[in-house]
Structure 1
């Protein structure tokens, strides 16, 4: 699979074949977990070739865990009930309504005054 995985250069690959059997016992998929990780991580051993299959065990375990992890569920956040903010808004609205009503009264009074009603 990779020039860094060469049993002729590193005999430890032959003596550590029990690790490959352990991967099978762990239930790791050869096609989905083992082969992709060995291909991806084999070149990282440069310049020294991989000397044992244990080099890949942790990465294969992470890949398997990531692949078999249940999908995350979305939990919408509950809105905080902020009565103080609502009260502030209502006070602001009341002030605006009073200001508008005062402006309307002032406009009407000026109109009456200009008509000579005073």
Structure 2
């Protein structure tokens, strides 16, 4: 006979640290406005959230930088989804970077002399 003993205190794992996916789109201001609109519509159905958005325009060329927060800690499903979305939208220039969530730093403690 096999017996299984269950622990009365189940082991809890720490939640994964969130990751930030930083996107930079380049193009005309009108095209970037359409991309942002579509991106926001798609994000309503996903678990990622927009952490920051920055725009810049230099004549006919514009840039939109968006930072998405992924609480799963795994950026690859988001990157795959973004790649498919950009292909569908005809976006040819996209820069993606991934950064871990900023860690809380311990307060500085004075060193006694």
Q: TM-score surpassing 0.5?
A: no
Compute the TM-score of the two structures, normalised by the length of structure 2. Answer: 0.29
Compute the TM-score of the two structures, normalised by the length of structure 1. Answer: 0.28
Q: Greater relative contact order: 1 or 2 (C-alpha under 8 angstroms, separation 6 or more)?
A: 2
Larger proportion of strand: 2
Higher-Rg structure is 1
Larger proportion of helix: 1
